[in-house]
């Protein structure tokens, strides 16, 4: 890729719609946490941590690393450290808007106070926003294999803090575990209380999981969803109903959810008019960034105009009220227009 193309991607205004806070722990942060708590990883080198934990033979190996990372997040200060790292990355990557996914049920399951952690995260973002051009909102995720009781608790927590930056309830975890039907009432309650619904589907499961996320849970946006490319009718439905897919290229390759980047169905979905966005998913665990995701899309044949269109789609797919979305869209359009103008002047 040329330096001018990389520079265009760097300067492009971006929105990140699918980034897990827990998955933002880098090898360096895990080593720091390991030393803090004198865990078995405290004496390892960074390279040993990368080799043992940050390379994945399959999706199960990735989930094991996720578990290890979460075991090291023991108090609000640990989560805040990860958030600080994430916010710094947003600034460096020219990310103007982000929806960060936090899973309180992980904290609860490990004996932590998930609500206290959330409150401190929200307080930090409140202090961050006036001094930055970046707007941060939150999705509270449920873990599919852990059942409805934890999901209901998550939904009520999301509703309690809906006016403080929490926008949605999500469903992540193993999509091949419990049936979606078991969460129908939880997500209906969430929608009735003004929350958006975000569902991981069509990553390790097939197109039927995406259909279920839509018709059973009323999903407003799908996390991953690239398996929709196997169903022409589903792609048409997503296009007609403007239902977005959060595409995470590096994630799909590193977890072995998909084989090769060169054959990833992202470009097919985009060319069919499915609303797709680019995201990092777990930037710490995959050691990636949003500009790198845009670079991978360019490797698949997308041009600068396509990348700009995807950046705008990220705003369109965001869980924002119409006035906020309109203002952010105008900001993105103005900056993208200026980028194009500067490129034309350089070529001239």
pLDDT by residue (tens digit) across 186-243? 999 999 999 999 999 999 999 999 999 999 999 999 999 999 999 999 999 999 999 9
User: Is the pLDDT at 346 greater than 60, yes or no?
Assistant: no
Q: pLDDT above 70 covers what percent of the chain?
A: 97
Which residues touch 249 (CB under 8 Å, ≥6 apart)?
Answer: 261, 264, 266, 278, 293, 296, 297
pLDDT given at position 144: 96
DSSP letter assigned to residue 184: H
pLDDT given at position 9: 96
**CA 260 – CA 252 distance, rounded (Å):** 9
Mean pLDDT, rounded, for 91-118: 97
pLDDT given at position 340: 81
**CA 256 – CA 123 distance, rounded (Å):** 37
Mean pLDDT, rounded, for 331-335: 96
Mean pLDDT, rounded, for 44-68: 95
Buried b (16+ CB within 10 A) or exposed e, 48-86: ebeeebbebeebeebeebbebbbebbbebebbebbbebb
User: Is the pLDDT at 348 greater than 70, yes or no?
Assistant: no
Residue pointed to by tokens 């705003």: 315
The yes-or-no answer on residue 345 being catalytic is no
Is residue 220 within 8 Å of 198, Cβ to Cβ?
yes
Mean pLDDT, rounded, for 129-154: 92
Q: List C-alpha distances in Å: 267 to 115, 153, 282.
A: 40, 38, 21
Residue 131 pLDDT level (bands cut at 50, 70, 90): low
Domain limits, the chain: 3-342
Residue pointed to by tokens 């969460």: 183
pLDDT given at position 77: 97
Q: For helices 304-316 and 290-299, what crossing angle results, to 10°? A: 130
Which residues touch 171 (CB under 8 Å, ≥6 apart)?
Answer: 141, 142, 144, 151, 180, 183, 187, 198, 199, 200, 213, 217
Please give the residue that has the higher pLDDT: either 33 or 346. Answer: 33
The model carries a pTM of 0.95
pLDDT given at position 347: 43
User: Is the pLDDT at 296 greater than 60, yes or no?
Assistant: yes
Neighbours of 267 (CB within 10 A): 16
Q: pLDDT above 90 covers what percent of the chain?
A: 93
Residue pointed to by tokens 């961050």: 128
Give the CATH number of domain 3-342; options: 3.40.920.10, 3.40.50.720, 3.20.20.140, 3.40.190.170: 3.20.20.140
Closest CA relative to residue 279, chosen from 319, 305, 246: 246
Task: Cite the DSSP H helix spans in 229-303.
Answer: 232-240, 249-254, 266-271, 283-286, 290-299
pLDDT given at position 133: 81
pLDDT given at position 2: 84
Phi, psi (5° rounding) for residue 270?
A: -65, -45
For the stretch 15-54, pLDDT in tens is 999 999 999 999 999 999 999 999 999 999 999 999 999 9
Mean pLDDT, rounded, for 152-181: 96
Is residue 172 within 8 Å of 246, Cβ to Cβ?
no
User: Is the pLDDT at 97 greater than 50, yes or no?
Assistant: yes
Sign of the dihedral defined by the CA atoms of residues 59, 60, 63, 68, in that order: negative
Residue 344 pLDDT level (bands cut at 50, 70, 90): low
Catalytic residue among 99, 159, 203, 293: 203
Mean pLDDT, rounded, for 121-142: 88
Q: Mean pLDDT of all residues in the chain?
A: 95
**CA 319 – CA 197 distance, rounded (Å):** 9
**CA 244 – CA 258 distance, rounded (Å):** 20
User: Is the pLDDT at 342 greater than 80, yes or no?
Assistant: no
**CA 177 – CA 241 distance, rounded (Å):** 28
Mean pLDDT, rounded, for 246-254: 98
Is residue 342 within 8 Å of 308, Cβ to Cβ?
no
């Amino acid at each position: 890729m040329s330096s001018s193309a990389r520079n265009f991607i760097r300067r492009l205004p971006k929105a990140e719609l699918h980034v897990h806070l827990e998955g933002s722990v880098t090898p360096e942060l895990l080593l720091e946490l390991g030393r803090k708590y004198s865990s078995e990883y405290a004496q390892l080198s960074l390279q040993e941590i990368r080799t043992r934990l940050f390379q994945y033979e399959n999706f199960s190996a990735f989930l094991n690393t996720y578990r290890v990372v979460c075991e090291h997040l023991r108090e609000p200060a640990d989560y805040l450290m990860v958030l600080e790292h994430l916010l710094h990355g947003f600034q460096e990557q020219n990310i103007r808007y982000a929806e960060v996914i936090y899973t309180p049920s992980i904290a609860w399951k490990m004996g932590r106070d998930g609500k206290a952690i959330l409150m401190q995260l929200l307080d930090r973002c409140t202090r961050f926003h006036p001094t930055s051009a970046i707007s941060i909102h939150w999705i509270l995720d449920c873990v599919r294999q852990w059942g409805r009781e934890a999901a209901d608790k998550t939904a009520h927590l999301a509703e309690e803090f809906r006016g403080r930056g929490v926008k949605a309830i999500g469903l992540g975890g193993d999509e091949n575990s419990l049936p979606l039907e078991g969460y129908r009432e939880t997500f209906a309650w969430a929608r009735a209380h003004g929350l958006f619904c975000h569902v991981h589907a069509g990553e390790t499961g097939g197109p039927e999981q995406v259909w279920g996320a839509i018709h059973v849970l009323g999903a407003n946006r799908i996390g991953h969803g690239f398996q929709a490319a196997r169903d022409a009718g589903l792609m048409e439905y997503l296009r007609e109903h403007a239902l977005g897919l959060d595409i995470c290229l590096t994630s799909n390759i590193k977890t072995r959810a998909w084989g090769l980047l060169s054959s990833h169905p992202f470009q097919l979905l985009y060319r069919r008019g499915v609303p797709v966005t680019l995201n990092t998913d777990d930037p710490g665990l995959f050691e990636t960034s949003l500009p790198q995701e845009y670079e991978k899309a360019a490797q698949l044949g997308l041009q600068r105009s396509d990348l700009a269109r995807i950046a705008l789609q990220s705003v369109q797919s965001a869980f924002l009220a119409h006035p906020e979305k309109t203002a952010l869209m105008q900001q993105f359009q103005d900056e993208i227009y200026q980028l194009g103008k500067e490129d034309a002047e350089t070529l001239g």
